[in-house]
Amino acid sequence: MRCTEATLRTFGIEGEGDHRGCTGVDILDALSRHGWKWQPGFAFDDRMHQLALQQHCQRVYGSTPEYELLDEQGPDHSKAFEVGVFCNGYRYPTAWGNNKKDAEQLAAQAALTELGVLEVQEDIEQ
């Protein structure tokens, strides 16, 4: 599949092609075929939480997560958004963000943590 080849190249795996039109599941499946695995405690790039949650929900429950805007607060020039993520009929902890995209990523991160896919990272003082 051409789209996953280009995406694999982004992760340093040989490939060529156009990654437009790839779904998160396409990307994570292609990476896993090349030996890449995500495990509890893996340090995800902030943009990968939604992809990982989508793959987990599809693999375990046979459904995709759904995001819902629950609240927004603040003046138009400085809004904050609360988003909830639902998977298999269950709502995971909600999250707030400065825009809807950030709130969705944070909600996906909270869901992955509750599912035990991600471990809570404790800040270490140095």
The conformation of residue 60, written as its DSSP 8-state character, comes to H
Which CATH architecture describes the domain 63-119? 2-Layer Sandwich (3.30)
pLDDT in tens, 39-62: 544 445 556 788 888 888 888 899
pTM of the model: 0.62
Q: Count CA within 13 A, CB hemisphere, residue 91.
A: 9
If one compares 80 and 19, the residue with the highest pLDDT of the two is 80
pLDDT of residue 96: 96
For residues 53 and 112, is the Cβ–Cβ distance under 8 A?
Answer: yes
The region of weakest confidence among 11-15, 52-56, 84-88, 91-95 is: 11-15
**Consecutive H or E run containing 81:** strand 80-87
- In sequence order, the 6+-apart residues with CB closer than 8 A to the CB of 92 are 84, 85, 86, 107, 110, 111, 114, 115
For residues 31 and 89, is the Cβ–Cβ distance under 8 A?
Answer: no
The conformation of residue 62, written as its DSSP 8-state character, comes to S
